[in-house]
Structure 1
Amino acid sequence: MRISELRLLDVVNVKDGRRLGPIKDLDLDLERGVVKGIIVPGPTRSWGLFGNGKSDDYIIPWDRVKKIGVDVILVDAKDLPEFNTDL
């Protein structure tokens, strides 16, 4: 599978079924030649009329990727702080 094809897939948290969005980028370790994680866009916070809110990207470690299917990537993001919904 190519990176361009991965970017078309939705990332879904297997613990709560929440859609986290498409892959925005990959976190690579170029020295070792491995994928360290996938980067998904964070929620956009809109302030004001022109949507000047900031969106922080989230990194999901590669060992949290559970399955890459034909139309979805399943990840376990339950205990990652940025995806904690119990706050």
Structure 2
Amino acid sequence: MDMEGDLFSLTNLKDMEIIDVNTGTKLGFIKDLKIDCDEHRIISVVLPSQTSKISLFSKNEDIEVPWENIKKIGVDVILIDGEKLADKV
């Protein structure tokens, strides 16, 4: 992964828009992070579901993007390889 800076705060990451480099699709903003506390690293980022279905009884359809799929963190966007996520978006 290529990063323009060395350090990013969680707040800064959550304010960056996620874009799929394959399609140019805007996927939204980071909703949550999954962190491995034993190894002190981010495992994946969680994005809100792209479906418009809202129900109290529906299961959570958030999109989980493995950290390895993040290709570049820029100043105001995060570029991901969403090729394997195509069925979820």
TM-score of the two chains, using structure 1 as the length reference: 0.80
- 1:24 and 1:52 map into 2 onto residues whose CA distance is 18
Q: State which structure, 1 or 2, has the greater radius of gyration over its C-alpha atoms.
A: 1
TM-score of the two chains, using structure 2 as the length reference: 0.79
Task: Output one character per residue of 1:43-64: Cα deviation in whole Å (capped at 9) or x when no partner.
Answer: 2433xxxx53755111100010
Of structures 1 and 2, the one with the larger relative CO (CA 8 A, separation 6+) is 2
| Runs of at least 5 residues in structure 1 that lack an aligned partner in the other structure | none
Aligned partner letter, 1:23: I
- 1:5 and 1:76 map into 2 onto residues whose CA distance is 20
Match of 1:7 among 14, 18, 33: 14
**SS of alignment partner, residue 38 of structure 2:** coil
How many residues matched? 79
Identity %: 33
Q: For the aligned residues, what is the CA RMSD? A: 1.7
Task: Output one character per residue of 1:36-84: Cα deviation in whole Å (capped at 9) or x when no partner.
Answer: 01111012433xxxx537551111000100000111000001123424x
Aligned partner letter, 1:69: G
**2:5 maps to which residue?**
none
**SS of alignment partner, residue 11 of structure 2:** helix
